[in-house]
Structures are given as C-alpha cells and as structure tokens.
Amino acid sequence: MIAEKAEKILEKHNLCNHCLGRLFASLGKGTNEDRGRAIRFVINMERSARGLPPIQEPEKCELCDNVFERIPGIVEDMKRAAEGVEFETFLVGSRFPDGVKDKEKVIWEEFGVDTAEPINREFNRELGKAFGRATGKDTSKSPDVVFIVEPYSGRIELQINPLYVYGRYRKLVRGIPQTPLPDFEESVASIICRPFSRITGGKCVFKGAGREDVDVRMLGNGRPFILEIKRPKRRKFDLKEIVREINESGKVEVLDLRFTTPDEAENVLSTPHRKEYLAFVLVEEGVTPEEAEEVAKKLRGLEVHQRTPWRVRKVRADKVRVRKVHDAEARWIDGKHFELRLVTDGGLYIKELISGDNGRTKPSVSDLLGKRAWCERLDVLNILD
C-alpha cells in the first residue's frame, strides 16, 4: 500500500528522495532520504515487472527546490556567523516560505497522507547533524546558541543565549546603592558586573534577592544574587579570578560564585528569605536597660502591619503588608542608645519598624517604648535560607 500510494504521488509530483521519504516519516527507521530512495527502488521494481518505465529522482524537486543540497554551504555560513563566539551546544531552527509549507500540505491532503513530517523539521535535523560533524559541537535542549536559518535567502540569525551565574555578596561599606542611582559613581551591581562584562563581552544584568538601603551594610553570609549575562561571546572563564578582582575593591565581596541554570536563577529570586538585622537605636528621651529588654521581649513573635513606607511610596505599591518578627534581642549601650538584633520575615522595613513611620507601621518600637525611637545605623547580618 505504501508503494502504491507513493507511485500515485510520483506520477503527479516530481519529488526528490527527501520529500518522498518525508511523506512516510513515521514508518520505520533511518533518514527520510534513505526511506525515499528505498520506496522509489521498490516502485521501480514493480513498474519494471509491469513493463513501465522507472520514475527517476528529478533534477529539480518541485516541492523543496533541492534545498537539502544547500546544507554544506549553509554549514560554512553558520561557522562564519559564529566566529568569535564561544559555545559547546547549539540548536538549529529554520524559516521556510509559506508557499513551500502550503504546497506540502496540499500533497498530504490530496493523497490522504497521515505519516508525514514538516519539511522544516527534517531540514533542521539534517542541518544540525551536518553542523555537528563539521564543528564537533553537540545539540542540546538548553543550548548555548541557536541558529535560525532562512535556507532560500541564505540569511542566518545567531541567537546567543544568556549565561547565568549565582553568588552571594557582602557590602562592607555604607554609602553605595545596590544598583546604579543618580549621584552615585558606583554600586554593588557595577562593581560585580564590571569584570564579567569585560571577560565575556556580553551585557551583565544584576538581580539581587531583595535589597538593602544605600546606608545599610550587608554582612554575614551575604545576599544571594543572579547575574544574567546577555549575548556572551565567551562562556568559559575562571570564576576564582573574578572573585579576587571584585574582593580587591574593599567595598564589596562575593562568595559561592558558580554557573547556574535559568530555572534555579528564577527560584533564587522568587524564594522569600528571613533576614537577621542589627539596628542601632536612638531614643532622645532616654532609655534604660530594662526598657530595652522589655521591647525585645514584646517584639518576639510579633505580627506587624506595615503600610508601604513614606520614603518609598513612589516606587512601591501603596498597600499594607503583614510580616512577622521571629526573634529579638536587645543590648543597652547608654542612656539614649541600645542595639536590637532582629530576625524577621523578608520584606519588613526595619527602619520603619523602629520609628513607626508616623503610624504607617503598627506596632513599632516607638509604640512599644511609648517614646520616639529612630534607627541610626542598620546592618543586615545574614540572609537565612
């Protein structure tokens, strides 16, 4: 029945072995070209027995215009398109004219073919195999680069997929923002991204798992971050050298740098983290050791309703967030100062937890003391994963 249907198709359409075999792609194993050659051989044997002339492979295929013969030249064009780009894995995609795809579907419908595959699928596979043999590179579902080929025009689009790096940073000094801001010469992001951009030749995008204010240090185990390096020309380099260069800044330190995947990067950035803080609290009206300890006692396990702080209302949605203080310890310093070590849910604004932000945070340290309190200094001690 296969030979009978194929003979009827070939009597009406001049198809190459690729396009003939592709009509029966889901039957048997091997390449479509081999399948088409075998089907044509069987047809011609039967035609010879019936005294009919053979149906030879045409010089020009009416469906694909012998596009598969262009593969060796396209491979060379792909190699030129990727010059200067470091990669180990790739994928191939293609854009075929609608006219070719429509003509193919007409043949399927005309002869009731339900075992075929589209021309672009075979072309991508065969071109990928040829490029892999020529370069020693491997195909992958998560490739370093993707080639989009227009086989008739010869146009090749090279998509260089991003490179992802996970790490944690410590901000050792006050007075620098996490990401670039007007009036600041540098930021945590610029200090970390600078060597990555230089080495990879790509654009480095910094994404932190939360952020701290300009005047707040990030200490302890460091804040997790992800670097997305777009269109990197280089993908292999020594992360230890980058750690050394960043840490020599004296302002920012990085640790635990490693390459990661897009899925893990998304998980790092979307997972909430508890945080441990050390706040230096000022009480102008004066504070005793007993009052400091009583505040810490009342804070433990406290649920806080916090409306978006006044100072960030222009860049954050104005809503009430409910966060919890999981632990609190106080250390009295002098008649006007004490330290608070806090462990809280992520997203709780500590400065406003202390001041009350004119009633926008309830309860606050000011409420619990019955006196106005301010956060003079704040450090993030740890991000608790």
Show which residues are catalytic.
Answer: 213
Provide the token pair at 324. Answer: 């919890």
Provide the token pair at 258. Answer: 């490693």
Positive or negative, the CA dihedral 328, 329, 334, 335 is: positive
Per DSSP, helices labelled H in 112-168 are 119-135
Cβ contacts of 170 within 8 Å, gap of 6 or more: 218, 219, 220, 222, 223, 252, 253, 254, 255
Backbone angles phi, psi at 196, to 5 degrees: -65, -45
Any binding-site annotation on 277? yes
Give the CA diameter of the chain.
114
B/e letters for 105-117, b = 16+ CB within 10 Å, e = fewer, are eebeeeeebeebb
Backbone angles phi, psi at 111, to 5 degrees: -115, 10
Contact present, 9 and 23 (Cβ < 8 Å): yes
Cα–Cα dist 89/132, whole Å: 9
Count of positions (residues) in the chain: 385
Any binding-site annotation on 349? yes
**Residue for token pair 């009052």:** 291
Could you tell me which residues are annotated as the binding site for substrate?
A: 277, 349
Binding-site residue set: 277, 349
